[in-house]
Each structure stands twice: as C-alpha cells, then as structure tokens.
Amino acid sequence: MTLRIYDTLKRKKVPFEPLEPGKVSMYVCGPTPYAPPHIGHAYSAISFDSVRRALRWLGFEVTYVRNVTDVEDKIFARAREAGEDWPQLARRFADQYDREMALFGVERPDIEPWVSGYMDAIIDMIQRLIDRGRAYVADGDVYYAVETFSSYGKLSGQSIEDLRAGARVDVDERKRSPVDFALWKAAKPGEPAWQAPWGEGRPGWHIECSAMTFVTLGERFDIHAGGKDLIFPHHENEIAQSEGALGDGSFARYWLHNGFLNFSGEKMSKSLGNVFGCAQTAKTCGGEALRFYLISHHYRSPVNFEVDERGDMPDLHVADRRLDYFYTTLKRADEFVSAAKDPGEGPVAEGAGDLPERAREALSDDFNTPAALAAMSDAARLLNKLIDEPAGIAKDVRRRSIRRLAADIRDLAERALGILAMDPDEFLASRRARLAAHRGIDEREVEARLAARAEARRDKDFARADALRDELHAMGVEVLDTPRGAEWRVRED
C-alpha cells in the first residue's frame, strides 16, 4: 500500500515517493526558546512526532531534524530584561521545551541544529545568493531580491503583484522592492552580532532554516513541516532562498502544515487570558490525554477546546477517561494472558487479527490518526468481549485472540501513536491520585470505608454495604466489585 500525503504546495494528496526507497528525511521548524511552551507548541510537536512515528511504523527509516532558533530578537530582548546571557536563556527555555514535550510523548529529534552553531553555513548561503544576483547589500543589511525569483508565491498561492499591493506604506527605503525581505541585518549597538563579509550583524528570520536543512539533510530532502502560520512568509521565503541558492528542484519535496488551536472558538492570545502552559495542562488533565485528544483530530484540522468558567477543559477529561478505558482493557488482557496456558500459534477469532491492516490503511492515508484510533477502539471492544465471554469459542482460539489483540493494540499505540506506553497499573494509579487530589478525596478514608463495606458484605448486611457505598459515592468515589475484592475509582462527573 502506498503512502499518500497532503502536500501544501500541490494542494492535494499525492503518492509519497522518498528520495531513497525506505528512507525519509524530514525537517520540522522547531521552537524559538524565549518563554515557556504553551499547548499550541505542543500541537505542532505532537502532530509531527506522530507523523514521524507513523512513518517508522509503516517501515521507513526516518531522519528527523528539528531546529532551535536561538538567534532571535525576542530572545535578546528577554535576556536584556532578565539580565541573563542570551545563550543561557535560550538553553534554559529549550531544556524546558524538551522536558515538557516529553510529557506528551514527543521524542527528541535525531538532529537538532541551533542557529548559533550554523553561522558559517548561513553566511555562505547569503554570499551565494549575492553572487548569483539574487540578493543585494544595502547599508550593511542584505536583502533578497524577490523579483528575481519567478516562482515566488507558489507555496502560499500569492503573486508578487498581490503582495506589493498589500505591502505596508512604511516600506524600508533601502529595499529595492517592498516585497524584498532581509537575509542579514546590520548590528545595532549592544546586540549580539557576527562577522560577515558585508559587515557585522545577524541573520534574518528565514535564512537559518535554508542553511540548516542544507547542512543537515543536503540539497534535497523529503518532508518539510511546520505550523500553518509559517506558510507565509517563512516557508515561502525559505523556498526562494534555497532554490535561489541551489537551483530549481532543490529543497523540500513535500510540505506538511498543521492546523491551529482555538479555545471556545477564539484564538489563543495573552489578552484573552487563554494561553495554556504545557506543564499546567499535563498536571491537571494528564499529558497523555492532551496527546490523545489532539491525535483524535487530523493533524491538518484546526482543533477547538471548550473552556469552562473555571478555565478547565472538559474535552481533555473525556480523553483522559478514554485512556483509562484502554489501559484498563490492557490490564485485563495482561491478567488473562499471564493466568492462561500458552495457546501457541494458530487461528484467531474473526476480526481479532484485523487491527494492523486497518491501522496501516489509516496511517497510509495522510497519517489519519483518527481512523487508526477508530480501528483501535474496535479492537479493544472485541478484546473486552473475548475476556468477558468464554462461551462459544475454543479455548486456545480465545487465548490466542486475546494475546494477539493486546499485542497489536500496544504495538500501534506505543510505536505509531505515542500513547499507552505506560504500565497500566502505573497509569491507573497516577490518574486516580491526580483526580483524587483534585477533588480532595482522602484515600485512607476511602480504604477504611471499603474495608467496612467488605465486612458488611461478608455478613450479607447489604443495607449497611449500600449505605457505605452511597457515602463513598457522595465523596466522589465509585466502587467496583471484582472477583479480587472491591476496587475504586474517582467518579467522572
């Protein structure tokens, strides 16, 4: 089955043919570490982490490059305010980014270029553009002469004429055309600066990605990805730079862009007070729940979170509950498998072997994680059913099917989707503790009442047992009677 992906440049799904069979080179625009990450950053990180995992699961060997833009005005400004060295500040926030993305199961890139370490490559590329007549020096700045690049606008669908018409009035006079953009900015007093043939300064916003893809992945590579907002101007300008310097047909072969997050229908912004930090969200809702919620949408779609009066996001709690279901299912399967005799190889129940193929179809269709999750839901339901109902099926077939389903769910979830990787007991315990703390439930009190109830039930004093259960219910505790005794969970409502 061939992989099809939606290419922003062609505006349609196209068959994916990597440069080298079986291998994928991929570059993702990474963070500018000047502040703690919010969950918008997480959406992008999770989306492309899922693409990476899906590619690997589908059998590709992936080289995943994600840059860190540590040379940037906002970093310099923050550092000045804080009285901190800018490299240190960038390091600090980049570390925080990695730590918090890990809460969502986002893996580290294979290669992580930092702009400050690629100045020579950046300067080389600018020089090459100047030599080829594509860029010009003006007062120590260097600008890209956009009009020399005839296909400018092909990614964002805009024409140079449109852009010129829409340009602001306060155009910099040093530019030959209002649509030209800076490759290099001359140093201002007190700002970090690097030495270049045309004077001291620092790179413009877009050139670093062109230079770093060239060094890390070469003249051509397979996939370039980033948030939708980067299509213009960032990625448009990258194309102009790379193709301008290296020739037509160089640079990225497929463009992937992911949607944005909204909160109760509104864009995230500081003034609306709806910027949600990653650490806080992971603490209240569980990091895995955020990932699960996000990958239950297609990566290109915008995602809306309903936010209630308390600033809480019910959608994430629903997702967390769904994870509880999957982990509970796996736990039941584990218990069943470890108690049962090894059934060996052989046939499985109808439908019990379908998951890998269904998931492969889903992920091969532009990384359709929602469809893969739908297949996983079907598998989990069948798994629970087989555990519950021993009748009407041969013992070995049943055992094999349960073992198989649990293994297939785990393989898909952990490797391709980045979820369900924890030990079920560990997940369930930490979730319960989180919810209990949130609702102010005293676990020792719960245990005491459960013990009293167990005694009452032994004595067949059901009135007393039910009264205790009602008390627990009022505390927010749900009692589950199992063959091994009573267990408890925190109620959802």
Partner RNA sequence: GGUGCCAUAGCCAAGCGGUAAGGCAGAGGCCUGCAAAGCCUCCAUUCCCCGGUUCGAAUCCGGGUGGCACCUCCA
> Considering only 58-66, 98-106, 125-133, 155-163, which stretch makes contact with RNA by CB under 7 A?
155-163
Find the part of the chain contacting RNA (CB under 7 A) among 86-94, 138-146, 243-251, 475-483: 475-483
378 lies in the site for RNA, by CB under 7 A: yes
Q: Which amino acid is at 225?
A: A
Return the range that interacts with RNA (CB under 7 A); candidates 51-59, 245-253, 254-262, 407-415.
254-262
Q: Whose CA is closest to 237, among 337, 341, 156?
A: 156
- How far apart are the C-alpha atoms of 152 and 239, rounded to whole Å? 8
Q: How far is the CB of 489 from RNA (least distance, A)?
A: 7
In sequence order, the β-bridge partners of residue 182 are: 143
Q: Are 275 and 38 in contact (CB under 8 A)?
A: yes
Taking contact as CB under 7 A, which single stretch among the options 121-129, 166-174, 237-245, 443-451 is the one that binds RNA?
166-174
Residues 290-319 that bind RNA (CB under 7 A): 296-298, 300-304, 315, 318
If one asks whether residue 43 binds RNA (CB under 7 A), the answer comes out as yes
The two three-digit tokens of residue 309, written as one number: 């009066």
Q: How far apart are CA 134 and CA 148, in angstroms?
A: 6
| Residue 334 binds RNA (CB under 7 A) | no
Report the alpha-carbon distance of residue 199 to residue 145 in Å, rounded: 19
Distances (CA, A) of 218 to 26, 27, 252, 316: 11, 11, 10, 40
Burial of 398 (0-12, 13-18, 19+ CB in 10 A): buried
Q: Tokens for 300, please give them.
A: 């290109």
Based on the shown chain and the rule CB under 7 A, indicate whether residue 158 belongs to the binding site for RNA. yes
Of the candidate spans 120-128, 137-145, 245-253, 320-328, the one that interacts with RNA by CB under 7 A turns out to be: 320-328
Distance CA 90, CA 70 (A): 6
Q: Quick one: which segment of 58-66, 81-89, 212-220, 221-229 binds RNA (CB under 7 A)? A: 221-229
Chain residues 121-140 in contact with RNA, contact rule CB under 7 A: none
165 contacts: CB under 8 Å, gap ≥ 6: none
420 binds RNA (CB under 7 A): no
Min dist CB 14 to RNA, Å, is 10
Range 75-94, binding RNA (CB under 7 A):
none
Per CB under 7 A, the list member of 19, 61, 74, 437 interacting with RNA is: 74
Question: How does strand 303-305 pair with strand 261-263?
Answer: parallel
Per CB under 7 A, does 154 bind RNA? Answer: no
Site for RNA in 429-458 (CB under 7 A): 457
CB of 407 to RNA, least distance (A): 18
The C-alpha atoms of residue 72 and residue 250 are separated, in whole angstroms, by: 26
23, 80, 157, 219: residue in contact with RNA (rule CB under 7 A): 157
Q: Which residue has the tokens 């899922």?
A: 50
Residue whose CB is less far from RNA, 83 or 265: 265
| 13 touches RNA (CB under 7 A) | yes
The minimum distance between CB 127 and RNA, in angstroms, equals 20
If one asks whether residue 223 binds RNA (CB under 7 A), the answer comes out as no
When the beta carbons of 60 and 184 are compared against RNA, the nearer one is 184
Using CB under 7 A, pick the residue from 126, 209, 387, 402 that binds RNA. 387
Complex with RNA: residue 150 or 482, whichever CB lies closer: 482
Instruction: Count CB neighbours of 457 within 10 A.
Output: 18
Task: Kindly state whether residue 32 participates in binding RNA, applying the rule CB under 7 A.
Answer: yes
> What is the dihedral angle through the alpha carbons of 374, 378, 381, 383, rounded to the nearest 10 degrees?
-120
Residue 176 binds to RNA (criterion: CB under 7 A): no
To RNA, the closest distance from the beta carbon of 117 in angstroms equals 18
Token pair, residue 366, equals 């532009």
* Alpha helices, H only, 71-187: 73-82, 86-102, 119-131, 160-166
